Amino acid sequence: MAWSSFSSVLEKHEQKCLIIHTLTLIFICDDDHYYHLHTLSTLLFYEQLFKDAVIGFRGWRIREDLKWGVKWFETFWHIVETNYISEPYRVGIITANSGYLIKPRFFDQHIYVNYTNITKSISLVDDIWLNGHLARRNVSRYVLPSCCAQTHIGKTHALEKHLMTKNVTRRQANDRALYYFKDYWERDLFYKPNGVNHPKRAVQEQQQQTDNQEEPLSLFHGPMSLDLVLHVQNEEQLEQKEDGHNYIQVHQQSHL
């Protein structure tokens, strides 16, 4: 199952000394995406500001009824992507298809429990599975603004095919996983229809700059300004996909 791969990574770090375990960073990503050159350096830079949170480049807020997905005309507000926002935005689910940084210390022994008594499909949708454990531990998840979206290069849907062998759809598996962690999701972060609590969009920020002054546009402003010269380069809508995650250990050394 999906959680077992990540759990095995955590177990290896549990065997090391406490200091190493505390400092370890793990980059979670998908093997069917191309990640731009600034991915890790941006994460490592922001990690200095969000030491007790999970940070990544794509996510979404959970509906109050704990159902997965929204109608097509709500997608723009519901799916939060790095190249469309102008400041960090807290989400309920952060997704691996655009990559995120996580720390073993965010989890406790509960992650290693034998879950044979639950529906197997729940732990197969590991984005929701891991975010559920993070919510249970009161660990915040943020989508960060950056220059570029990741590029999906896969041609198959491995998770959907695997779920079909168990006579369950992606929607059913996601709904069950969301409900399983119903007592832990942050209710103040529930998604509100029609973009009521949507993040500040980069295009909105840029338009405001254009109206107020004639200066070069940037995605970063105010107290969150990090002097990163980043521009929106790719406005392609990415497909909602959360399977085939990889777990990569990285060093805590920023290249910015």
Domains of the chain: which residue ranges?
A: 2-250
Half-sphere exposure of 48 (CA within 13 A, CB side): 13
pLDDT(114) > 90: no
Separation of alpha carbons 218 and 20, rounded Å: 37
pLDDT(160) > 60: yes
Task: Tell me the chain's radius of gyration from C-alpha atoms.
Answer: 18
pTM of the model: 0.74
Among all chains, which residue has been given the structure tokens 């006579």?
Answer: 167
Question: What pLDDT score does 27 carry?
Answer: 92
Separation of alpha carbons 70 and 85, rounded Å: 20
Beta bridge partners of 248: 27
pLDDT(32) > 50: yes
Separation of alpha carbons 106 and 87, rounded Å: 24
Confidence of residue 246 (pLDDT cuts 50, 70, 90): low
Handedness of CA 178, 127, 51, 46 (dihedral sign): negative
pLDDT(129) > 70: yes
pLDDT(39) > 80: yes
Confidence of residue 91 (pLDDT cuts 50, 70, 90): very high
> Regarding predicted confidence, which is higher, 249 or 75?
75
